[in-house]
C-alpha cells in the first residue's frame, strides 16, 4: 500500500474520532440527575420517564416526553391533558395543565401554539434539577412554568 493510500485511510479513520471528541458527553438520568423530594413525592414514576439530561446556564434539566390525550377550552385558556411516557412509550402518569392558546410549545420538533395542539401530538417537557417545576424548554430565566391544573 502506498503512502498516499495509507494517509488517506488514516485520515478517514481519524475524522469520525475527532468529530466525537468535540461532542459533549451524554448525561444519564440515573447517574447525572437528582430529583427533588417534592417532585418525587408528586411524581413517583418520573425516573422511568426521563429521556435525557442537559445543562443550561449551569443548571441541569431532565427531558420528559408526553402525548396529548385531551383538549378543552377553559376561560379563554386551553386545558391540555397529557400522558407522560416511559422510555418504552408506555403511559406512566396523566397530568392536565392550563396554557394560553397563543403560548408556544415544541411538538414533534416543530414550534406551534397550544391553540394548534391536537390529540396524539407528542410534547417534550423539561424539569430543573432539585425543583418541582415543569417547563417547555430548559432556561428558567426566559420561560414561565406550565400551570398544572389536574393530576389523575
For residue 29, report the phi and psi dihedrals to the nearest 5 degrees.
-65, -35
Question: Tens digit of pLDDT for each residue in 100-119?
Answer: 888 888 787 788 888 889 99
Q: Length of the chain in residues, anyone?
A: 152
Residues 6+ apart with CB under 8 A from 45: 84, 86, 92, 93
Question: Tens digit of pLDDT for each residue in 59-82?
Answer: 888 889 999 999 998 888 888 999
What's the whole-model pTM score? 0.70
pLDDT (0 to 100) of residue 19? 39
- Counting as low any pLDDT under 50, the low residues of the chain are 2-22, 140-143, 145, 150-152
Amino acid at each position: 500500500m502506498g503512502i498516499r493510500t495509507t494517509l488517506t485511510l488514516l485520515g478517514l479513520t481519524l475524522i469520525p474520532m475527532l468529530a466525537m471528541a468535540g461532542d459533549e458527553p451524554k448525561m444519564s438520568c440515573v447517574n447525572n440527575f437528582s430529583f427533588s423530594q417534592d417532585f418525587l413525592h408528586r411524581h413517583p414514576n418520573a425516573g422511568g420517564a426521563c429521556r435525557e439530561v442537559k445543562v443550561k446556564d449551569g443548571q441541569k434539566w431532565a427531558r420528559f416526553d408526553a402525548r396529548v390525550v385531551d383538549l378543552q377550552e377553559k376561560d379563554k385558556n386551553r386545558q391540555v391533558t397529557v400522558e407522560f411516557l416511559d422510555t418504552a412509550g408506555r403511559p406512566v402518569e396523566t397530568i392536565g395543565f392550563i396554557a394560553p392558546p397563543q403560548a408556544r410549545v415544541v411538538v414533534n420538533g416543530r414550534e406551534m401554539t397550544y391553540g394548534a395542539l391536537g390529540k396524539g401530538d407528542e410534547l417534550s417537557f423539561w424539569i430543573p434539577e432539585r425543583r418541582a417545576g415543569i417547563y417547555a424548554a430548559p432556561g428558567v430565566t426566559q420561560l414561565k412554568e406550565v400551570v398544572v391544573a389536574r393530576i389523575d
